[in-house]
Each structure stands twice: as C-alpha cells, then as structure tokens.
Amino acid sequence: MQEVKSGDTVKVHYHGRLTDGTTFDSSSGREPLEFEVGSGMVIKGFDDGVMGMMVGGKKTINIPVDDAYGPADPQMMMEFPIDGLPKDLKPEVGMELTMRDGSGNPIPVVVAEVRPDVIVIDANHPLAGEELIFDLELVEITGSKSRIIMP
C-alpha cells in the first residue's frame, strides 16, 4: 500500500480539539479536507501528522504550539479609539470584528477589553498559543507531483 509522502494530494477526515477536550473544528458531515502535503496549505504539525499514513489509517496527533499557530503575540493586541467605531456598534468583550490592513485585506479581530475611550483588540489567530489534538482518518491519496529524476 502507498504511504503519504510530501507532494501527495490527500483527503483527510479530522476532528480537532484543544487539550481541555473542546472541539474547535471537524470535517464531520462535510467533505474531507483535501490538501497537498508539504505545500504549506495546512499547519506544519498537521502536514507532519499525515506523513506515512495509508488509506483507511486512523491516528491521533498532538501538535505543539510552535507547529500549530504559534504563541500569542502581545504586539497583536492593539488599542482602538471607541469614537472610531460606527456609532451603532456597542463593543463587548468577545465580539468578533473585521478590520482592514493597509492593502484593504480583511483581518479578523476579537474585542479583548472595553475601556471608556478605547477598545483593546486581539488580532492573533484564535488558536494562537494553543496545543492542538487531531483525530485523523486518511480517506484517499488522490495524486502526487510528478518527480523527474535527471541523470
């Protein structure tokens, strides 16, 4: 049987949870996740976790913070003046907002604190600083990059 190697395109069912057991994502009820192994389409720990698996294989992987979304970056916590918000917006801790970077690209943020004149927003990835656990099932290896070996 074929084992997953870098460059293969695979389909994987997964159940992702935090170390406290909280589910943060799952492919249950959806099509399996399809990606090219080693291409950077998924986090490093997920890529590494499918390496060597065979179709039909199941396993659980623990992904440390550095191989997931990295540690939370304190510089991604920013103050934003309340008077710069739309007048009808009443910010609350935990509220998800979308800001724009200098190129107009959307950046999801979460309100971390509300003060009288500013809100503190957190632009870290929601899973930054978290160790992740995934239950994986390799459904299919759909293809691999052509490898030309030159003499």
Check whether 146 has a pLDDT greater than 90: no
**pLDDT at position 145, please?**
58
Q: Evaluate whether 8-70+128-144 and 74-122 have a shared fold.
A: no
**pLDDT at position 150, please?**
47
Q: How far apart are the first and last CA of the chain?
A: 28
Q: How many CA atoms lie within 13 A of 16 on its CB side?
A: 17
- Domain 74-122 falls in which CATH fold? Thrombin, subunit H (2.40.10)
Check whether 102 has a pLDDT greater than 70: yes
The Cα 71–Cα 62 span in angstroms is 16
Q: What's the Cα-to-Cα distance from 9 to each of 31, 38, 134, rounded to whole Å?
A: 15, 10, 19
Q: Check residue 27 and report its DSSP letter.
A: -
Percent of all residues in the chain with a pLDDT value above 90, rounded to a whole number = 85
Contact 23, 35 (CB under 8 A): no
Convert the pLDDT of each residue in 28-69 to its tens digit: 999 999 999 999 999 999 999 999 999 999 999 999 999 999
Q: What ranges do the domains of the chain cover?
A: 8-70+128-144, 74-122
pTM over 0.85: no
Q: Name the 3-class secondary structure at 22.
A: coil
Classify burial at 11, counting beta carbons within 10 Å of its beta carbon; exposed 0-12, middle 13-18, buried 19 or more: middle
Convert the pLDDT of each residue in 1-15 to its tens digit: 789 999 999 999 999
Token pair, residue 8, equals: 């293969």
For the domain 8-70+128-144, what is the CATH code? 3.10.50.40
The Cα 93–Cα 116 span in angstroms is 13
Contact 10, 141 (CB under 8 A): yes
CB atoms inside a 10 Å sphere around CB 48: 16
